[in-house]
Amino acid sequence: MQKHIIYIALCCMLLSACSNFLDQTPQAVIAGDDLNTPENVEKMVTAAYSALGNDHYTAPYSSMWPYGNIRSGDAYKGGDGAGDISDFHFYETFSLNRVDNGASDLVWFRLYVCIGRVNDALGRLNGISEDAFPDKQTRQAEMRFLRGHYYFLLKILFKYVPYIDETIPKENYDTISNRVYTDEELWTKIADDFRFAAAHLPGMQPEKGRASKYAAKAYLAKTLLYQAYKQDQQNAVTGIDAALLQEVNTLCDEVISSGGYQLAADFADNFLSARENGPESVFAIQYSKDDGTPKGRLDYGHALDYPMNQDYGCCGFHSPSANLVNAFKTDGSGLPMFSTFNNTNITNESDFHTYTFDPRLDHTVAIPGHPYKYDPAFIYQRSWARAPEVYGAYLSLKEAVLPGDPAFQKVPPFMSSSKNWPIIRFADVLLFKAEALIELGRQNEALPLINRIRERAAASTALLKQANGDYVSSYNISTYQPGVNCTWTQDFARQALRWERRLEFAMEGYRFFDLVRWGIAAEYLNAYFAVEKTRSAHLGDAVFKKGRDEYLPVPLNQINFSKGLYQQNTGW
């Protein structure tokens, strides 16, 4: 039975985790006071890290695809029709979503379990001396980084949530409302955790997977970028805070100038298990297998996303939309077709050579007739889609691995892997900075940052070939060249930036939250539905209600457990 956060037991079992320092084998459950030794406090820190990947396909939070992709127009739910995990169908259509959606209640609960682990570790760290535990301050900073991450996810999902840290006694949890802090104040609380982490973490960590100073600065930049777009009580964006944008710019400069990160040479490198923890990885969830646990520390958040063929077997969720595939089209000058991309739909395999595309298409979308995950001997087929008559035949590709990949693991009837999942890539940092500069009216400074992303995309075609050496699609991508192929005004630069974020991070889980941050979700999604309903009957009831659907409702279970202390979100 799900339990409200006021009943969460903060003494966590010492679960094994992943990647180097996270590989710990559970031994036993011991009394809380016995954990207050340097060795056991370190294990409690490990337990808090392990929560990063402790989610499940029913309500994932390592992968945000049910909330950030299928609510954005980039993806359909997929699976075997509207009734297959119907909670996700309710997300996709908006009009059918309800306050008693079980998935919303579950993700709320799971994220507070994660926060409970962090707060437990912090409470023990605060009570131990640096003489006994020399890494005390570093571990405190790591825990505050993780808490910032978990609260960031809660914030973008629900807007108003109860803020509980390690200083609040458990017996007082039931007195903490989700409206103690305003929207602005809650963003500041989250930012404060990342500020502390940035101030006290080393620039480089000796073990992969630990948060670093520059990961904290990057996540602080992301948090402040969200905070900069001011919202009123109806979730409408009323203005942009220039001072926060300036700080975003400065933080990104510090990450860029650190010299510790660069764009991967090939876009594919970010999504191949053999190349994880590469130069573009600012912070990623570390998964593992064959680590002494029964099934390994696997990516269960994406367990539903594999094809329905004999090599995999289940389950065909997370299907890229026709709109997203069309968005990768390019015009004769190699630029996006901003206003006309969706006028003509891609309908058959030959269309991928009739039109030209941004190469990131074939890194992102599994397409019938094209190699699956870069293997020219393993051709994706329409029959591999579970319900192509409902959701089309495309599937998401970035999270997948080949059946022969060392990271692959069957967890019958589902599939999984130990491949890392990125939370922040260096490409994010470049585009955070570009967005801040554009909104500050300094769009000329943003131009080389956006072009840097596009240049990497253009250079990422080596793996996109059929067995005979031909490219799987026709590619044509160019940089923005003012006076040659564009006029680089602030409005045009803003359009280019937002398009670039869509293509670069497609199917990675955050698109919907971009739309909300920019204040365009209602207009964008209702325009999307107007066309997409003619292509996909499952969207017949879909409509986005402005001033309500920007956030999920506070789950009814949580309001009931709080005895009415929690206030419901606007419009619900």
Mean pLDDT, the chain, rounded, equals 93
Binned at pLDDT 50, 70 and 90, residue 295 comes out as confident
Binned at pLDDT 50, 70 and 90, residue 31 comes out as low
DSSP letter for each residue of 65-134: HHHHTTTTTSEEEESSSTTTTHHHHHHHHSTT--TT-HHHHHHHHHHHHHHHHHHHHHHHHHTS-TTT-T
Strand partners, 417: 408
Give the C-alpha separation, 182 to 161, whole Å: 10
Decide: helix, strand or coil at residue 319. strand
Structure tokens at 523: 């207009």
Taking only the tens place, the pLDDT of each residue in 421-452 is 999 999 999 999 999 999 999 999 999 999 99
pTM of the model as a whole: 0.94
DSSP letter for each residue of 457-473: HHT--TT-B-TTS-BSS
Collect all residues with Cβ–Cβ distance below 8 Å to 379 and sequence separation of at least 6: 369, 370, 371, 372
User: Which pLDDT does position 27 carry in this prediction?
Assistant: 54
Binned at pLDDT 50, 70 and 90, residue 32 comes out as low
Buried b (16+ CB within 10 A) or exposed e, 38-63: eeebbbbbbbbbbbbbbbebbbbbbb
Taking only the tens place, the pLDDT of each residue in 106-156 is 999 999 999 999 999 999 999 999 999 999 999 999 999 999 999 999 999
Helix H or strand E encompassing 448: helix 443-458
Binned at pLDDT 50, 70 and 90, residue 293 comes out as confident
**CA 379: distance to chain centroid?**
28
Q: Is the pLDDT of residue 8 over 70?
A: no
Instruction: Judge: domain 5-217+547-561, CATH 1.10.220.10.
Output: no
Rg (CA), the chain: 23
DSSP letter, residue 7: G
Give the C-alpha separation, 435 to 248, whole Å: 9
Q: Is the pLDDT of residue 273 over 60?
A: yes
Q: Is the pLDDT of residue 22 over 70?
A: no
Taking only the tens place, the pLDDT of each residue in 397-417 is 999 999 999 999 998 899 999
Residue whose pair of structure tokens reads 């840290």 in the numeric block? 165
Residue whose pair of structure tokens reads 């019938």 in the numeric block? 368
Collect all residues with Cβ–Cβ distance below 8 Å to 252 and sequence separation of at least 6: 218, 221, 429, 430, 432, 433, 436
- Which amino acid is present at 528? Y
Decide: helix, strand or coil at residue 433. helix
**Longest Cα–Cα distance in the chain:** 70
Closest CA relative to residue 404, chosen from 273, 539, 211:
273
Binned at pLDDT 50, 70 and 90, residue 294 comes out as confident
Q: Is the pLDDT of residue 167 over 90?
A: yes
Binned at pLDDT 50, 70 and 90, residue 201 comes out as very high
Structure tokens at 154: 């809660």
Give mean pLDDT, residues 205-218.
Answer: 96
Helix H or strand E encompassing 366: strand 365-366
Binned at pLDDT 50, 70 and 90, residue 500 comes out as very high
Phi-psi region of 162 (alpha: psi -120 to 50; beta: other; left: phi over 0): beta
Backbone angles phi, psi at 421, to 5 degrees: -125, 125
Collect all residues with Cβ–Cβ distance below 8 Å to 268 and sequence separation of at least 6: 275, 363, 374, 460, 463
Burial of 526 (0-12, 13-18, 19+ CB in 10 A): middle
- For the chain, the structural domain boundaries read 5-217+547-561
Between the CA of residue 25 and those of 9, 143, 409, what are the distances in Å?
21, 21, 20
Collect all residues with Cβ–Cβ distance below 8 Å to 227 and sequence separation of at least 6: 184, 187, 188, 191, 241, 244
Collect all residues with Cβ–Cβ distance below 8 Å to 175 and sequence separation of at least 6: 565
**CA 449: distance to chain centroid?**
22
Give mean pLDDT, residues 378-394.
Answer: 97
Structure tokens at 191: 């930012």
Binned at pLDDT 50, 70 and 90, residue 21 comes out as very low
DSSP letter, residue 321: P
Give mean pLDDT, residues 271-292.
Answer: 95
Q: Is the pLDDT of residue 33 over 90?
A: no
Between the CA of residue 8 and those of 2, 48, 568, what are the distances in Å?
10, 14, 22
Q: Is the pLDDT of residue 10 over 50?
A: no
User: Which pLDDT does position 15 carry in this prediction?
Assistant: 34
Structure tokens at 92: 């996709």
Give mean pLDDT, residues 171-187.
Answer: 96
